Structure 1
Amino acid sequence: MVLLKTATTLLAATAAYAWNHTASDVIATGTMGTTNPPEATMGTELNQTSIARLVSINSIDDFCFFGPKEANVTIGDTEGEQVAWCTKPRNNARVIPDGTITSAHFVKTPAYVQVSGFGDLTKIGVKDADYGGELDPHGATGDGNPVGGNVTSDIVNGTSISYAEWMEFISYEQFCIRICTASNDTWGAPVMCEHKLDEMGCGFVMPDAGDSDVFETCDADVAYPPGVYPIDGSYSTFAQRYTGSYSSGTTGAMVGYTVGVTDTPTAAQMTPSSSNCVTQSSFAGNNVDVSATGVIEDNRDDDSDSNSDSDSNESDKSNPDGNEGGSDSTDKGQTSANAGDGDSSATTFTGFATVSAIALAVLAIAL
């Protein structure tokens, strides 16, 4: 664990300061990715081979997530190539066929909006038994996974706003996606949408109190940032183990380093409580049949290298400070393996990792 902040009094992570929805680390800057419409748009033409990458999260039956551009390829090998899939025709994106999603839990908090759920995601091209991976606006090059991906939500004031920070896990049977819509003086949007825990899955990174067999909309308390635990009046954060190397500036020799700890916590610090929940039996159909997915079949060898599309994401914060490049990891986020809702009681984790300053600098700058 890396010590984040000391405090004389243990403050609730979500209540120390008011949440700011217009902070500089919240609102995206620049333009949309080159595959995307200039703004979130409802009622666009159905195109099940679209490569648009604009995701919107507005309600239980109006949301999108990133999913396969091509079938028969693992998520971890094609993170930069994912495209937008939506519950309604919008954003020039592909439409999620009726019957794909079997449950969903839509949560609005003062700091973020998120939706998680279960279903048969092989119907949109996720490879059967693929435990998937983690997607975010950073990636190995800083152009995002997927490259050129953008996100919006109208949850704050009814107007679609482009946001800088988001994170998603997707597997063959589960998905979860969060857009960070605010920050405060304690927790910034990049921390609330932490993107370096790509092997931990939905249940750890985005815990919620939703059931796996309903469609539900709730208000909720703000969770602690992913991996953060209060300990003895201070905060510490779990650092996922990562091994890499960098070139010495003086000799050019490759220098190896390791960050993170082998002692992995079993659960997030707590599962936030929900309120004002409204349950429905399903969400409105879109009349798109499973047979109309239009996902291109890709028969390449699963071990082959993926070639991300060349479109750029100008609205990305270009802050590739994650463990998403230069490693042997295939980013197979254990999404389904960590599918449990977690214990609503607090979890403690007391391990601390010792990390050299140079290793952290390389991790933050080079990756």
Structure 2
Amino acid sequence: MGVTNPPAPTLGTRINQTSMARLLTLNSIDDFCLFAPPVLANISDTETEEVAWCTKPRNNARVIPDGTITGVSFLKTSFYVQIMGTGNFTLLNVVAGDEGGELDPHGATGAGNPVGGNVTTNIVDNVDEPIAEWMLFMSNTVFCIRACTNANATYDAAHMCWHELDVMGCEFVMPGTYNPPGIFETCDADVAYPPGWYPSVDNSGSTSFSTFAQYFTGVYTGSNGKETGYTVGDLVTPTAPASIPSSSNCVTTSSIANGIPLASLGVTASMSKSATASGASAQPTRTSSNAAYNLVPQCFGFMIVSIVSLGLLY
């Protein structure tokens, strides 16, 4: 696990809206997490710094405020679990109008975007397992995330969660049933081809694949200090993935609300730069057994507010 993360995925940790934890869990339609900025920012400017926001109090992460997510499709396949959704992610510090970016366990340096980010799921055998290959696209209104849980001789996990098509967007890289806001459903789904793969069948019935590489130009500096331009990828960009997998056995739910009234508890959904800098604790602390909401003290200006015992069960 990354240095900011608990040693294992844990449900029921304290609510801490200044947490810097970077552990996502993808277990069900109402128990999953996303990466988003720790303070108001564009995704592309903070890819190495994003933090975990979860639908439930877990993993020492921040809690996604009710009303943020307006629709979710939770897809289970034999090769991956995939979640797609809509919402107002300005409530998770994504700047309004930000078209977003792509996050994965590799990043430019190999340390991951975000650095130290981890993903787990229990979707395979009901045991939380760390996932080596995953990818997340996040904007101010849409997200999609895939955790690759299986592989075979044709489709390995790295290609099923291929992370080098970052400008192509959710519906190209992670095709599936993208519903309008207001629908929350869990489905089985067919497996998509790896992102950018296109099958063809020859006269003998054998299948082969062509692949699409994203077009990119740049400049590198050689050992002699001279800058040289380079171009990689295909000049022609496809307009759609090879196919859109079908969903089946869908079960809908009316809401994924967690029922935690952050505002009435005196906890803002996200902390400003000035409040974060003033030193709110990010460490778990003990609370009484009759605590209504398990909260880490939050910082507002120069005043520390700790709400640990409201006399109600949670």
Instruction: Please give the range of the TM-score, normalised by the shorter of the 2 chains.
Output: 0.7 to 0.9
The 1-side partners of 2:74 and 2:225 are apart by 50
What percentage of residue pairs aligned between the two structures are identical? 59
Contact 2:37 2:92 in 1 (8 A): yes
Q: Which amino acid aligns with 1:297?
A: S
Query: Residue in 1 aligned with 2:304?
Result: none
Structural RMSD (CA): 1.7
The 2-side partners of 1:78 and 1:108 are apart by 30
Give 1:65 deviation, angstroms.
0.9
Contact 2:79 2:148 in 1 (8 A): yes
Q: Please point out which of 278, 284, 308 is paired with 2:251.
A: 278
Give 1:285 deviation, angstroms.
2.2
Structure 1 residues 293 and 271: alpha-carbon distance in aligned structure 2, compared to 1, 3 A threshold: farther
Task: Say which SS state the counterpart of residue 115 (structure 1) adopts.
Answer: strand
Structure 1 residues 293 and 116: alpha-carbon distance in aligned structure 2, compared to 1, 3 A threshold: farther
Asked if 1:46 corresponds to 2:15, the answer is yes
Q: Which has the larger radius of gyration?
A: 2
Give 1:111 deviation, angstroms.
0.4
Asked if 1:89 corresponds to 2:65, the answer is no
Q: Please point out which of 234, 237, 246 is paired with 2:208.
A: 234
Query: Residue in 1 aligned with 2:236?
Result: 263
Query: Residue in 2 aligned with 1:138?
Result: 106
Give 1:294 deviation, angstroms.
4.3
Contact 1:150 1:162 in 2 (8 A): yes
Q: Please point out which of 156, 163, 170 is paired with 1:202.
A: 170
Task: Say which SS state the counterpart of residue 150 (structure 2) adopts.
Answer: coil
Contact 2:24 2:120 in 1 (8 A): yes
Give 1:86 deviation, angstroms.
0.4
Give 1:146 deviation, angstroms.
0.3
TM-score by length of 1: 0.69
Give 1:281 deviation, angstroms.
1.4
Query: Residue in 2 aligned with 1:296?
Result: 271
Give 1:202 deviation, angstroms.
0.7
The 2-side partners of 1:197 and 1:97 are apart by 30
Give 1:78 deviation, angstroms.
0.7
Gaps of 5+ in 1: 1-31, 300-367
Structure 1 residues 288 and 132: alpha-carbon distance in aligned structure 2, compared to 1, 3 A threshold: farther
Q: Please point out which of 164, 185, 198 is paired with 1:216.
A: 185
Asked if 1:184 corresponds to 2:184, the answer is no
Give 1:114 deviation, angstroms.
1.1
Contact 1:116 1:176 in 2 (8 A): yes
Higher relative contact order by CA 8 Å / sep ≥ 6: 1 or 2?
1
Contact 1:111 1:181 in 2 (8 A): yes
Give 1:298 deviation, angstroms.
4.8
The 1-side partners of 2:30 and 2:166 are apart by 27
The 1-side partners of 2:220 and 2:120 are apart by 36
Structure 1 residues 100 and 237: alpha-carbon distance in aligned structure 2, compared to 1, 3 A threshold: same
Give 1:254 deviation, angstroms.
3.8
Higher mean C-alpha displacement, 229-238 vs 77-86: 229-238
Asked if 1:61 corresponds to 2:36, the answer is no
- Cα distance per residue 1:103-138 (max 9 Å; x no partner): 000001000001110011111111001111000001
Contact 2:102 2:135 in 1 (8 A): yes
TM-score by length of 2: 0.81
Superposition pairs of residues 309-328 of structure 1, within 5 angstroms: none
Query: Residue in 1 aligned with 2:116?
Result: 148
Task: Say which SS state the counterpart of residue 74 (structure 2) adopts.
Answer: strand
Asked if 1:112 corresponds to 2:112, the answer is no
The 1-side partners of 2:233 and 2:191 are apart by 25
Contact 1:88 1:286 in 2 (8 A): no
The 1-side partners of 2:176 and 2:43 are apart by 24
Q: Which amino acid aligns with 2:271?
A: I
Asked if 1:76 corresponds to 2:44, the answer is yes
Task: Say which SS state the counterpart of residue 91 (structure 2) adopts.
Answer: helix
The 2-side partners of 1:48 and 1:187 are apart by 39
Contact 2:39 2:271 in 1 (8 A): yes
Contact 2:197 2:210 in 1 (8 A): yes
Task: Say which SS state the counterpart of residue 107 (structure 1) adopts.
Answer: strand
Q: Which amino acid aligns with 1:224?
A: Y
The 2-side partners of 1:259 and 1:110 are apart by 33
Q: Which amino acid aligns with 1:278?
A: V
Give 1:253 deviation, angstroms.
4.0
Query: Residue in 1 aligned with 2:287?
Result: none
Give 1:207 deviation, angstroms.
1.0
Contact 1:49 1:294 in 2 (8 A): no
The 1-side partners of 2:142 and 2:69 are apart by 9
Task: State the number of aligned residues.
Answer: 266
The 1-side partners of 2:9 and 2:155 are apart by 28
